[in-house]
Amino acid sequence: MNKLIEKAKKLHLLSKSEIIEILKDNFLNNELFQAADEVRKEFVGDEIHLRALIEFSNICKQNCFYCGVRAENKNIDRFRLNKEDIIELAENALNNGYKTIVMQSAEDVYFNAERLAEIIKEIKKHDTAITLSIGERTYEEYKILKEAGADRFLLRIETTDKELYKKLHPNMDYENRIRCLKDLKKLGYETGTGCLVGLPGQTLESLAGDILFFKELDADMIGLGPLIPHKDTPLRDYKADSFWLSLKVMAIVRLLMPDINIPATTAMETIQGNGRILALQSGANVVMPNVTEETERKKYEIYPGKTSIDYTELEEKFKAIGRTISQNKGYRKKDNL
Ligand code: 5AD
């Protein structure tokens, strides 16, 4: 086996230059994916955790250059689900066997902590974990949401390259995003972050920096995927060709953070046929099927061509690769390290 991959597999440590070396060398890919698959099996097993994703608002105050729901995009129908609809979608998902509800929205100020807390409390009357993915908030807001019963939070750093971050996120502040992630950890959320792969101007060095940042933060979940250019954004002319690179970044994350939860992201499936299965065989152990109604799902177009799939169909596909759907809530298992 390649020395670096062997080291990563055994010690779960790599330096920045070693990560760059692996990212550069495409002859190593199969070995890398296989090593990540083995580490996944050893540390988190063959069970796949499903998270039911509810997209409840695409009304956004931010203007991220890559994102189709950015505030300046006028070519989009905006929607906001009401409390009852969100709760109903969650209850349907729980009836269908899901054990975790992910409430995701754009940065919509209407959904302040008090409004969200009411919804969380209602859903938490059922036996479920709740993950929030609603963007940057204050410590006090995160605290209210945690006390209402939220268990986990997803907030991708998107890129740790500060210059690039600034270019792609007008009027946003890198330091504030870091503050958010630290607050979430402090408050006891299982904290997820991640990055986009294939951003204009992004280097292998900056991706290596992203990976080391995830480890340093001791993130509980890492979600990452390729950039898929959206026609109504400033990145419309950019190429979507980062599937393999994002798979490599994901596999290295698995080697370095053996016990965390890693989703096979929708972006991976969208850009490459069978991308979800390839990801599940290269380190991933989580899938987040979208359970939003079709009409809203179409409007939640972060990037074009977003795929969707149902529970039964997934179960079949997992079975074919020797994997099962987990019947528990799928918290990070720290105790087997
Ligand atoms: N292509 C791929 N992923 C995207 N995201 C936003 N826009 C795009 C795009 N065009 C990702 C961001 C965000 C997550 C919800 O979706 O990383 O954190």
Q: What domains can you pick out in the chain, each with its CATH number?
A: 2-323 (3.20.20.70)
98 class by beta-carbon count within 10 Å (0-12 exposed, 13-18 middle, 19+ buried):
buried
Provide mean pLDDT across the span 276-299: 94
Atom of ligand 1 lying closest to residue 230 CA: 10
Question: Which tens digit of pLDDT belongs to each residue from 69-104?
Answer: 999 999 999 999 999 999 999 999 999 999 999 999
* 67 Cβ closer than 6 Å to some ligand 1 atom: yes
Residue partners of 100: CB distance under 8 A and separation at least 6: 49, 50, 51, 52, 128, 129, 130, 131, 152, 329, 330
Residue 177 CB less than 6 A away from ligand 1: no
Residue 204: how many other CB atoms lie within 10 Å = 17
**Ligand 1 atom closest to 156 (CA):** 18
- Residue 336 pLDDT more than 60? no
pLDDT for the residue 241: 95
pLDDT at residue 337 above 60?
no
Residue 307: the pLDDT is: 77
* 3-state secondary structure at position 51: coil
Residue type, 39: V
Q: Distance from the CA of 4 to the center of ligand 1, in angstroms?
A: 30
Do 129 and 100 touch, CB atoms closer than 8 A?
yes
Query: Ligand 1 pocket, 39 CB below 6 A?
Result: no
Q: What is the dihedral of CA 280, 158, 77, 114, to 10 degrees?
A: 100
Using the atom order of ligand 1, give the atom closest to the CA of residue 194. Answer: 17
Percent of the chain with pLDDT over 90: 93
The Å distance, Cα 335 to ligand 1 centre, comes to: 32
Atom of ligand 1 nearest to the CA of 224: 17
Task: Return d(Cα 227, Cα 204) in angstroms, integer.
Answer: 15
pLDDT tens digits along 25-38: 999 999 999 999 99
3-class DSSP state for residue 78? coil
pLDDT band at 335 (very low <50, low <70, confident <90, very high): very low
Percent of the chain with pLDDT over 70: 99
Burial readout 240-251 (b: 16 or more C-beta within 10 A, e: otherwise): bebbebbbbbbb
* pLDDT class of 334 with cuts at 50, 70, 90: low
* pLDDT, tens digit (0-9, with 9 covering 90-100), for 197-243: 999 999 999 999 999 999 999 999 999 999 999 999 999 999 889 99
Helix (H, G, I), strand (E, B) or coil at 274: coil
Say yes or no: CB of residue 107 within 6 Å of ligand 1.
no
Q: Ligand 1: does its nearest atom lie under 6 Å from the Cβ of 210? A: no
Q: Parallel, antiparallel, or unpaired: how do β-strands 129-133 and 221-222 relate?
A: unpaired
C-alpha torsion sign, points 157, 163, 168, 172:
positive
Take residue 212 and report the two structure tokens written for it.
């080391």
Question: What phi, psi does 290 have (nearest 5°)?
Answer: -80, 125
Largest CA distance in the chain: 55
Cβ distance 22 to 252 under 8 Å?
yes
Which helix or strand (DSSP H or E) is residue 296 part of? Answer: helix 294-299
Q: Is 143 helix (H, G, I), strand (E, B) or coil?
A: helix
272 CA → ligand 1 middle, Å: 16
pTM: 0.97
Look up residue 310 and give its amino acid: D
Q: How confident is the model over 35-65, as pLDDT tens digits? A: 999 999 999 999 999 999 999 999 999 999 9
- Phi-psi domain of 10 (left: phi exceeds 0; alpha: psi -120 through 50; beta: other): alpha
Residues 257-282: pLDDT tens digits? 999 999 999 999 999 999 999 999 99
* Residue range 94-132, pLDDT digits in tens: 999 999 999 999 999 999 999 999 999 999 999 999 999
Dist. CA 302–CA 68, nearest whole Å: 4
Could you give the CA distance from residue 236 to residue 248 in angstroms, rounded to a whole number? 25
Mean pLDDT of the 316-333 span: 95
Ligand 1 pocket, 267 CB below 6 A? Answer: yes
Q: Which residues are 105's β-sheet partners? A: 57
CB 193 within 8 A of CB 217: yes
For residue 185, CA distances in Å to 195, 212, 248, 249, 263 come to 18, 17, 27, 23, 20
pLDDT bracket for residue 308 (50, 70, 90):
confident
The CB density around residue 86, as the number of other CB atoms within 10 Å, is 24
